[in-house]
Amino acid sequence: MDKLTVLVGTQKDGYVFRLKPSSRRKLLQERSSEGLVDSVFIAYDKKHDFEQIHGNIWDHVIMLLTNMPLEEVNRCGGFAVLDPGTNTVVFDSAIQHV
């Protein structure tokens, strides 16, 4: 499987994360849809509080969106977080988990 892509958007009070449609389709073709969620919302203050204790949120977000353990996501090619508004890669697991 190719690297999964998570799209991140901002709202007034937080971030919304969702799988890029092509990544979601791949997961649905190769796995059951059990546990897949459409999106994850994290408020700005909660993100900050969480990262102060646990480090970055990216690994947790991909596990919530895919219902897969991080090790399985990484075996399947890893993931990247993309801001579609600027087309900027915010996080790439291949760089972080070398």
Residue 96 binned pLDDT confidence (cut-offs 50, 70, 90)? low
**Spatial distance between the Cα atoms of 36 and 16, rounded to a whole number of angstroms:** 15
Taking the domains of the chain in order of start, what are their residue ranges? Answer: 4-96
Helix (H, G, I), strand (E, B) or coil at 82: strand
Q: Report CA-CA distances (Å) from 21 to 24, 38, 95.
A: 5, 10, 23
Strands (E), the chain: 4-11, 14-19, 40-43, 79-83, 88-92
Residue 98 binned pLDDT confidence (cut-offs 50, 70, 90)? very low
pTM: 0.84
